[in-house]
Amino acid sequence: MKGKGDNKELTSETGIHTDFQNSMTYGEYLDLDKLLSSQNRLSNHHDEMLFIVIHQVSELWMKLILHELKAAISSIQHNKLQPAFKMLARVSKIQRQMIESWDVLATLTPSEYVKFRDKLGRSSGFQSYQYRMIEFALGFKTSHVLEIYKKDNKIYECLKKALHEPSLYDVSIEALSKAGFQISAERLKKDYTKVYQADQSVEAAWLEVYRNVDAYWDLYQLAEKLVDIEDRLQQWRFHHMKTVERIIGYKKGTGGSSGVTYLKKVLDHRFFPELWELRTKL
């Protein structure tokens, strides 16, 4: 009976297009043939499909994050903060989706994963170049990681270019300077290829913004958007670490990292240190 009802509702929709001989379909627009034929298991184990899909979906979300971060950086550089706020808010929402995905992967048990883990060889999520691009975009620049990507010259050159570009935090600090805050010359002439280090003049500027919210509302909003993104990224890292611990314990990662031990260490890193320090000093 349900099927008949559904059919009746469908036939009542007289405007629905059914002839696509000369029109683009939904599947063609999204290139679904290519997308849905990219889940190629290297084992016969049922749960390898889960493992592949989770990581492919994460890469798609990261592609969108990079799209938004690049546009937000450009907007801030051109003193267009309001459009940047929308882009950064979207990044935070995407991050929430990525955090939730660890709960799905956590349904994979150690007994199941060990059945196909050897098929990964030395490949590892540690090698995700898009994740490195996100780290670079947020100011965590580490040139030595480029060695991992020399096999693919296109990716290597892309990362090398990103290494020398200003990060989201770099352009945010430049926005402070444009607003009249005294930022140290050393900080404004920073080598973009280096990992960001906390700066007293930057902290003083952000403190003034937080103490005079009405006078610096746009900068205050920008700061809170940055905190949102770092908070979500650290939540993602924590859930990643706990999921790995749950599935493989303290084994080494397939890519050669120390696994959980490495993932715990990166939890201590701050992308925007002054924005966290000022909370104690307000």
- Would the annotation count 20 as a binding residue? no
Cα R_g (the chain), whole angstroms: 23
- Would the annotation count 54 as a binding residue? yes
- Would the annotation count 227 as a binding residue? no
- Tokens 């994979």 -> residue: 108
Nearest in space to 225 (alpha carbons), one of 107, 86, 121: 86
- Would the annotation count 94 as a binding residue? no
Two structure tokens written together for 265: 């260490």
Nearest in space to 131 (alpha carbons), one of 30, 237, 40: 237
- Would the annotation count 65 as a binding residue? no
- Would the annotation count 55 as a binding residue? yes
Cα 54 to Cα 61: distance, rounded to the nearest angstrom: 11
- Would the annotation count 271 as a binding residue? no
- Would the annotation count 116 as a binding residue? no
Provide the CB-side half-sphere exposure for 44 (13 A, CA).
0
Is there a contact between 113 and 259 (Cβ–Cβ < 8 Å)? no
In this structure, what is the dihedral angle of CA atoms 145, 149, 150, 152, given to the nearest 10 degrees? -160
- Would the annotation count 46 as a binding residue? no
DSSP string, 96-148: HHHHHHHHHHTTS-HHHHTTTGGGGTT--GGG-HHHHHHHHHHT---GGGGGG
DSSP string, 145-185: GGGGGTTSHHHHHHHHHHHTS--HHHHHHHHHHHTT----H
What letter does residue 30 receive in the DSSP assignment?
T
Q: First CA to last CA across the chain, in angstroms?
A: 65
Binding residues for heme: 240
Binding residues for substrate: 51-55, 113, 117, 254
Binding residues: 51-55, 113, 117, 240, 254
